[in-house]
Amino acid sequence: MRPAVLAALLALTLPAAASALPAAAGKQATPAYVTAAINDPARAADRHDDARRQMAAVMTFTEVKPGQKVVELVPGSGYWTRVFSAIVGPTGRVYTIWPDEMAKYSTKSYAQWQKLVTTAHYGNVSLLKQPAARFDVPNGIDLVFTSQNYHDYHDPFMGPVDMAKFDKKVFDALKPGGLFVVIDHVAPAGSGLADTDTLHRIDPAVVKKEVEAAGFVFDGESNALRNPADPHTKAVFDKSIRGHTDQFIYRFRKPQ
């Protein structure tokens, strides 16, 4: 084949090949139902944090869909919960777990939470208050989500929890193909669990090892909350880094 003809054929086929690349190779498109949930007027007070906390990217990465059942561990102010509620809609359900051991650290947040779950707009949100180690939820869950508190389960005030048993309970509660998404503050590589109670950070490799040991398959990570400027040596509440820590987002899938 003459070079000129070959060049012309390549010019025609390369764009098509590029467009056929899987979505994971580039930025994942935000589903319309995620955008609609983020724009819910009821969460107007949360909107100022959406860019910093990468709400659209995180929700898209979790693959949450209308009609699904979601479990959220330690929901805090309800920042993520309000969007989960709007996404899953009236045919879905959001179960929020407040560990008993968190009570003395989150009195104000818990009081706000009791008010939220009695609000008609969030009628699909349930409150489950139980010991940290229990994880007592309905079966057939589509997604278990935790943001910035997986490390807490390793600390003395939470028991500490036997994470091998806990992660297995998460695994058992999920449907085949269900997802476990973990967001947490990055600790120095190789530090293991040394910083969970002091810096409130955890080595991502530990999380991956623990969750995979329960039977999960690592299904990918998002860099939406990574910050290479974070030295990983300061407590997450330090004024110099608070709100801008380097965070990993791991997604694990229960095999079909």
35-64: per-residue pLDDT in tens? Answer: 999 999 999 999 999 999 999 999 999 999
Decide: 60 and 222 in contact? Cβ < 8 Å: no
Return the beta strands (E) in 55-173 as ranges.
69-73, 93-99, 125-130, 141-147
Model pLDDT, residue 113: 84
DSSP 202: B
> What is the pLDDT confidence band of residue 6, given thresholds at 50, 70 and 90?
very low
Task: Give the per-residue pLDDT at 35.
Answer: 98
Q: Is residue 244 part of a domain?
A: yes
> What tens digit of pLDDT does each residue of 217-237 get?
999 999 999 999 999 999 999
On the question of pLDDT at 106 being above 80, the answer is no
Quick one: average pLDDT of 84-97? 98
pLDDT at 3 over 70: no
Domain that holds residue 220: 48-253
| Gap between the Cα atoms of 78 and 72, Å rounded | 10
For residue 15, being part of any structural domain is answered with no
For residue 182, being part of any structural domain is answered with yes
Decide if 162 is inside a domain: yes
Q: Tell me the pLDDT band of 17, cut-offs 50, 70 and 90.
A: very low
Give the percent of the chain with pLDDT over 90: 82
Check pLDDT > 90 for residue 241.
yes
Please state the rounded mean pLDDT for residues 146-173.
97
In a domain, 27, yes or no: no
* Residue 167 belongs to domain with CATH number: 3.40.50.150
Instruction: Assess if residue 220 is contained within a domain.
Output: yes
243: in domain:
yes
d(CA 38, CA 48): 11
- Structural domain includes residue 37: no
Tally the domains of the chain. Answer: 1
